[in-house]
Amino acid sequence: NEVFDFPRSDPIDQTSGTPDPSVKVVVRIRPKTVNEKLGDPTIKKVGEDSVAVGDRKFSFDSVLDSTSKQEDVFKLVGVPLIKDALAGYNASILSYGQTGSGKTYTMWGPPSAMVEGQSASYQQGIVPRIFQTLFSEIKREKDNAVDKQINYQCRCSFLEIYNGQIGDLLDPTQRNLQIKDDAKNGFFIENLTEEYVTSYDDVTHILIKGLSSRRIGATSTNSRSSRSHIVFTCIIESWCKETLSNSFSSSKTSRITLVDLAGVERSKQVDGAREFERERKDVKRSLSHLGHLVNILAGGTQPDDAMYRDSCLTHLLQQSLGGNAKLSVICTVSPDIKDYGETLSILRFGHIIRSVQNKPVVNEITEEDMDGLTDQIRQLKEELIRAK
Ligand code: ADP
Ligand code: MG
């Protein structure tokens, strides 16, 4: 039962001199399966942050080779996310890759590995690891507070985008939910289940329930592959009270968005069944819209709202892509020669999204802001009374 020792007294940005990029891209190479032939791997890690595919070389923020462990991904991507989220930043992780390249393994790991104290816990994915450490950090921060009382409230939702519709993974009867505008948070999803969580157990309960409701398709090779994008969201609100004066001092909000995308599929793969044709096309359409949007952002232009709203996926990711959030992209790739074409296209996507600039800010309301708001409310009340 390995529990990562969270660095105790590090400041939030622990980088030495180099600024923390708002968008970070990590490549993870999956180990070969028994069926994949021995021989030279198609993709090779060359140096800390580069890979070579054939005669092409790509650089990223980090590259994890096929010997990497779940814990390595957590240290690289999960620990910074926890720090950011507790500091009041929105933070997102996007896993992008071909079907069978390890997106789901990297994000969640097998459900059995989420149960604490299990021998399989080394397989625990990045998401359960994040919440395990997040709650221990929250507890530590509360316990260590001097002269003030820190309160946290976390709420989670889990949804799926399947055939262009949003389905609630925590209430599978809700299959076509609508995205609505919200002045404060940008958007919200009408009727989506939100559950308050106070512990790692609460979160794993939601994860296991949601993952078992995810829609999958059957491929010709008889393997189970994901035909939907799934999005796990946790909104953390914290506020601080001075114990002596009992006065409010500050409040922070952050949105954690964790996305396991549907597989980037081979263009000529045949399912044999017509019912899968529609979902395959839909996955392709939403991923190519994502690629298109990322291309525009990488070119230094901000796409307009309409472009984000063209597809559910980019609408939900509006802040994560070019907006108010820190973003980590995990590109998972296969080491096998048969996947050469897909691997190359996934690395290209990773390379392009690296140039996207996000604009993360700490979502904080201070005492002064509150005083300002209180003043505004008083003025409005007076106007109302006068108008009567
Ligand atoms: P995807 O979600 O991208 O379609 P999966 O996560 O389902 O792919 O991975 C496909 C198979 O490969 C699964 O059986 C998974 O357990 C295994 N796998 C993927 N990545 C790794 C890894 N880094 N180490 C060990 N097994 C892995
Ligand atoms: Mg998957």
Whether 102 lines ligand 1, by a CB cut-off of 6 Å, is yes
For 322-347, how does the pLDDT look when each residue is reduced to its tens digit (9 = 90+)?
999 999 999 999 999 889 999 999 99
**What letter would DSSP give residue 339?**
G
Helix axes 275-298, 340-353, angle to 10 degrees: 40
354 Ramachandran zone, left/alpha/beta (phi>0; psi -120 to 50): alpha
Please work out, in degrees rounded to the nearest 5, the angle formed at the alpha carbon of residue 156 by the alpha carbons of 62 and 144.
Answer: 75
Q: Ligand 1 in contact with 104 (CB < 6 A)?
A: yes
**Of the listed ranges 43-57, 205-219, 294-308, the one predicted with least confidence:** 205-219
- How sure is the predictor about 387, in pLDDT bands with cuts at 50, 70 and 90? confident
pLDDT number for residue 369: 75
Is 101 annotated as ligand-binding? yes
- Closest ligand 1 atom number to CA of residue 107: 6
Range scoring the smallest mean pLDDT among 64-68, 120-124, 165-169, 206-210? 120-124
C-alpha span between 352 and 72 (Å, rounded): 24
The number of beta carbons lying within 10 Å of the beta carbon of residue 41 is 17
Residue 33 CA, closest ligand 1 atom number = 12
Is position 322 annotated in a ligand binding site?
A: no
Q: Report the percentage of the chain scoring pLDDT > 90.
A: 65
Here the tokens at position 42 are 């198609």
Q: Residue 203: name the closest of 179, 229, 235, 226 by CA.
A: 235
Distance 104 CA to ligand 2 centre (A): 4
**Which of 29, 30, 123, 124 maximizes ligand 1 atoms within 8 Å of its Cβ, making it the mutation to test the pocket?**
30
Q: Is 123 a known ligand-binding residue? A: no
105 CA to centre of ligand 2 in angstroms: 7
97 lines ligand 1 (CB under 6 A): yes
Q: Is 17 annotated as a binding residue?
A: no
Residue-wise pLDDT tens digits, 79-120: 999 999 999 999 999 999 999 999 999 999 998 899 877 778
CB 284 within 8 A of CB 271: no
Please report the ipTM that was assigned to this predicted complex: 0.99
Pairwise CA distance, residues 231 & 363, whole Å: 21
At residue 64, does pLDDT exceed 60? yes
pLDDT in tens, 222-252: 456 788 999 999 999 999 888 888 787 789 9
**Residue count (the chain):** 388
Strands 248-260 and 91-97: parallel
Ligand 1 atom nearest to 110, measured from its CA: 16
Percent of the chain at pLDDT exceeding 70 = 89
For residue 266, the 8-state DSSP code is -
The number of the ligand nearest the C-alpha atom of 215 reads 2
The pLDDT assigned to 9 comes to: 35
Report the nearest-CA residue for atom 22 of ligand 1.
30
Tell me which of 346 and 34 has the higher pLDDT.
346
C-alpha angle 47-326-312 in degrees, rounded to nearest 5? 110
| Residue 380 · residue 386 · CB < 8 Å | no
User: 353 C-alpha vs ligand 1 centroid, how far in Å?
Assistant: 23
pLDDT at position 352: 96
**Does ligand 1 lie within 6 Å of residue 100's CB atom?**
yes
Residue 319 binned pLDDT confidence (cut-offs 50, 70, 90): very high
Task: State residue 10's pLDDT score.
Answer: 39
Ligand 1, closest atom to CA 98? 3
Which residue's C-alpha comes closest to atom 10 of ligand 1? Answer: 100
Residue 217 above 50 pLDDT?
yes
Confidence tier at 35 by pLDDT (50, 70, 90): confident
214 lines ligand 1 (CB under 6 A): no
Whether 332 is in the pocket of ligand 1, judged by its Cβ within 6 Å, is yes
372 CB near ligand 1 (under 6 Å):
no
Q: Please say if the pLDDT value at position 141 is more than 80.
A: yes
Rounded distance from Cα 362 to ligand 1 centre (Å): 35
Task: For 159-190, write each residue's pLDDT tens digit.
Answer: 999 999 999 999 999 999 999 988 777 789 99
Residue 11 scores a pLDDT above 50: no
Q: For residue 105, which atom of ligand 1 is closest to its CA?
A: 6
Phi, psi (5° rounding) for residue 166?
A: -90, 125
Q: Is position 39 annotated in a ligand binding site?
A: no
**Which atom of ligand 1 lies at the shortest distance from residue 95's CA?**
3
Question: What's residue 236's pLDDT?
Answer: 97
For ligand 1, say whether the CB of 95 is within 6 Å of any of its atoms: no
> Hey, what are 22's tokens?
């708002």
Q: What is the mean pLDDT of the chain?
A: 88
Ligand closest to CA 346: 1
